[in-house]
Amino acid sequence: MKKKYLINSIPLLSPITGVARYLYEISKHLEKRKDIKITFFYGYYANKLLEFSDNTNLKFIKKTISKIYFLKKISRKLLLIYSNIFYKREFKLYWEPNFIPLSSIKAKKIITSVHDFSFILYKDFHPKERIEYFENNFFKNIYRNDRIICFSCFTKEEIIKYINFPAEKIDVIYHGIDHKLFKVYNDLDINIDLPKRFIFCVGSIEPRKNLLGLLKVYNLLDKDMKEKYKLVLAGFKGWENKEIMQLIKQNEDFIKYLGYISDEELAKVYNLASLFIYPSFYEGFGLPIVEAMACGTPVITSNVSSLPEVGGDAVIYVNPNDINDIKEKIQIVLNNEGLQKQMIQKGLKRAKEFTWEKSAKKHIELFQKVINEDSNSS
């Protein structure tokens, strides 16, 4: 008999960022298993994993709701009420990929993925309603879990520290990347107007990514260097982005904002960039630095949170709070071709360690282990 798994797949209805990408990649590999029957929860229940292009109308509705505080607040409650009324089945395993297991889901075993603790440590990095939701739901639901998955040893230590969850029930599983997509391209065809040479940064336009600091750093660079290396930014407009967008507009001769670009376009932009910089204040993993390394781009990133664990000795580190340090490191890398080549080679080697196949295999092994523990005890 097939084991019945439930996966909360609501993140796939949002723009494809970190959580949705992770959920999709792991679910793709789970779907291939013949011994598992997966039910996906999108606010309704389905047996199909949505492709990113699916359910355009649902995504539009969810995007509209997310802009209205009152609607966003009640939408979560409506989903829970719906599932309570219309779906009473119990699953063997419920995997929650996004912090907080839904209280209405009935399962013998629950495993939740916790990505970081920014909602505790950096409340200013999040909209008010998100913090309110976490404060009301995270702590009262997290101890329902049989296991917790996180994506760095750094985050595991935070989980132990802040919620006192047993260390032996916390599993570190690194993210991966699609190496068929994020790779060095010999021939590039891209329909984006890009400068000949540029510094590249990707991430939602919001406080946590430290884009305001990066813009200040870039403004301090010598005019000759700015003439030679423009700054290119890509990513969704997040929240609290007004000042950032104003600075971009004021410096449009040197700074180009691409907005959201597809993964295919992103891989090509990485390839064309002279330098990738990711000066984030805090990350639970930091997937963009792995993508950039796999595309043969020198990487500068912050020396905080999980980023040194992911980047290893393949990247140059900066203090995200020190604009002079960031400026100095940018100049050092861009003025030293030998260093760039060394960073590229180390980055290519380092990126090979992170694959979705490896990550999915460890997820599947953990799910089976937890289910077997239940079988052995019964």
Topology match between the domains 3-175+355-377 and 198-351: yes
Question: d(Cα 175, Cα 280) in Å, to the nearest integer?
Answer: 18
Give yes or no for a contact between 366 and 147, defined as CB atoms under 8 angstroms apart.
yes
Looking at the domain 3-175+355-377, which fold is it? Rossmann fold (3.40.50)
171-226 pLDDT tens trace: 999 999 999 999 999 988 899 999 999 999 998 877 888 999 999 999 999 999 99
Q: What is the pTM of this model?
A: 0.89
Please count the residues of the chain.
Answer: 378
Tokens of 83: 């599932």
pLDDT at position 367: 96
At 146, give phi and psi (nearest 5°): -85, -30
Question: d(Cα 351, Cα 353) in Å, to the nearest integer?
Answer: 5
315-355 pLDDT tens trace: 999 999 999 999 999 999 999 999 999 999 999 999 999 99
Question: d(Cα 284, Cα 174) in Å, to the nearest integer?
Answer: 10
Tokens of 55: 């359910």
Please, which residues have CB within 8 angstroms of residue 344's CB and are 6 or more apart in sequence? 296, 297, 298
CB atoms within 10 A of CB 243: 12
Please, which residues have CB within 8 angstroms of residue 65's CB and are 6 or more apart in sequence? 71, 72, 75
Looking at the domain 198-351, which fold is it? Rossmann fold (3.40.50)
What are the percentages of helix, strand and coil residues in the chain, rounded to 5? 50, 15, 35
**Domain extent listing, the chain:** 3-175+355-377, 198-351
Average pLDDT of the residues of the chain: 88
Give me the amino acid identity at 170.
Answer: I
| CA triple 71-106-21, angle to 5 deg | 60
CA-closest candidate to residue 170, choices 194, 195, 152: 152
Largest CA distance in the chain: 71
122-176 pLDDT tens trace: 888 888 888 999 999 999 999 999 999 999 999 999 999 999 999 999 999 999 9
